[in-house]
Amino acid sequence: MPTPDFVAALRAHIGHDMLWLSTAAGVVVDSDDRILLGRRRDTGGWALPGGIIDPAEEPADAAAREIFEETGVLAVPERLVAATVSPPMTYPNGDQVQYLELTFHCRPVGGQARVNDAESLEVGWHPLSALPPLSRRTLSLLAHATSGKAEAAFAFSGIDHLPAK
C-alpha cells in the first residue's frame, strides 16, 4: 500500500522507530448477506477494505474513503463494530508500526466491486458460508459484525491494570 505523505514526513524524522497509527476498515454487507473483501497485493491475503486515517479525518469518513479507493464500492458506515489494537509489526523495509483499528459495519449504496487501486489483486463479494482464507482476527471481526449485536467489541485488561493513586 502506498505510504501516505504525512507518514513519510514522520518517518523522515523518526526513521524505522515504532509509529502508532490509526486505521479504519469496513465490514460491507450487501442485501444478500455477502461480505466485500479484497485480496492484498503486498501479502496476497484476503482482507477487509480499509487503511490509515488521514490527519483530522473522521474515522467513518476514512472507512468510506478507503472502501471506495480499494473496491469501487460506495458504502455508508452504520455503526462501529470494533475498536482493537494490532500486534506490533515490522515491514520489510524495517519500519515498525502498531495500529489502532476502528472497524465499521457498512451498507453499500453504489458503485461496482472491482480492483480500484494498485493495492489490490482481486475484489469481490463473498457469502459468509464460502469465505476465502482469512486471518483469525478478520474472522472474529466478521463474526461480531454479523452477529446482530449493537455494541462495539473491544478488549479491556481489567481494573487491576489501572495505575493506583
pTM recorded for the entire structure? 0.90
Residue that is written with C-alpha cell 473522521 in the block: 58
Mean pLDDT of the chain: 94
| 72 pLDDT more than 70 | yes
User: Among residues 59, 24, 49, 35, which one has the least CA distance to residue 107?
Assistant: 35
- Distance of alpha carbon 47 from the chain centroid: 8
Task: Output the pLDDT for position 162.
Answer: 84
Tens of pLDDT along 129-145? 999 999 999 999 999 99
- What local confidence, expressed as pLDDT, does residue 69 receive? 97
| Res 153: pLDDT | 87
Domains in the chain and their CATH numbers? 16-142 (3.90.79.10)
Which residue has cell 455477502? 34
Give pLDDT, residue 1. Answer: 60
pLDDT tens profile 79-123: 999 999 999 999 889 999 999 999 999 999 999 999 999 989 999
